[in-house]
Each structure stands twice: as structure tokens, then as C-alpha cells.
Amino acid sequence: MEEYFKPIDIRWADLDPNFHLRHSVYYDYGAYCRVCFLEEFGLTNKVMQELHFGPILFREEAIFRKEVRLGNKLQIDLQILKARKDYSRWTIRHQLMKNGDTLSAIITVDGAWINTEQRKLATPPQQVITVFEQMPKAAEFQWLVS
């Protein structure tokens, strides 16, 4: 897959007292995009519960470029930047585009998978690998060495 985008509807509750997007909402949009991707490719919450695993984040960073206001058209993308061959560790980048042509923010997350019964980091099942192999790769994508 070359691209993955989700349109975002900006809500009044997403704004801060200065009438632009609250900083924490950017992170919510990133999580929304990641979960939508997983769900659309069959890695649903139900599947993860049945297999006793789920994603966790080690780091989440946002770089804010241009403010976003109510009424702006907003979309977010998803690209994998780095991963181990078994996708047990990964870095995903999101770019939020305003009105189709203005980069408003870049969100980068580093994550892994946890066994939800053992509460320990784990190598994900084959279903995760199959889904992550379909994720758009950034031009600068690189494989991580264990």
C-alpha cells in the first residue's frame, strides 16, 4: 500500500481557549488513525483480546507546524518508519495535513507488542506481521536490528 489517509472532523471540544486545536488532540488523532488501520486490515480489538496481545507505546512526539482551527479540512496519514523484521518493535509517523496542502503537525510513535496475560513484551502473532506488511512505508524506511 502506498498511502493511507483518514479524514478528521474537528469538534468544538478539540479546541483550546485560543480557538485552535489542543496539543493533546493531535495524539488522539494519531491513535485514531492507527486503530482504524489495524481494524480495516482485520486486526480488531476482538482478535487482539482472543490472542492476548496488544500494542504499547514507548514514545510519542509531536512537532507542530501550522495551527489548526475549527472549519479547517484535516486529514492524517500513517507510514511506518522503522521496524524489526518480526514487527515486534516499530516506529510510525503521522502527518496532519490542513486544507489538502499545509503540513500542520508530525506525530512520531515508537511501539511494541505486549502479551496481555503475561504483561510482558512479546513477538506478535503472524496476523500482526501480515497487517504491518501492508502498512505504507516511508521513503526513508529502515529495518531495525535486534
**Cα dist from 128 to 47, 48, 54, 69, 86, whole Å:** 10, 9, 10, 36, 9
Could you list the beta-strand ranges (E) of 1-146: 5-8, 53-64, 74-77, 79-84, 89-98, 102-115, 120-121, 137-144
State if pTM tops 0.75.
Answer: yes
Beta-carbon count within 10 A of 23 CB = 11
For 109-120, what is each residue's pLDDT tens digit?
Answer: 999 999 999 999
pLDDT tens digits for range 37-84:
999 999 999 999 999 999 999 999 999 999 999 999 999 999 999 999
d(CA 84, CA 87): 5
The answer to whether the beta carbons of residues 100 and 12 sit under 8 Å apart is: no
Burial level of 135, CB count in 10 A (0-12/13-18/19+)? buried
DSSP assignment letter at 17: T
DSSP tag of 108: E
Cα 98 to its chain centre, rounded Å, is: 18
Total structural domains within the chain = 1
Domain that holds residue 56: 5-144
Q: How confident is the model at residue 146 (pLDDT cuts 50, 70, 90)?
A: confident
pLDDT score of 35: 97
User: Which three-class secondary structure state does DSSP give residue 66?
Assistant: coil
| Domain at 10, CATH number | 3.10.129.10
Q: Which helix (H) or strand (E) holds 135?
A: none
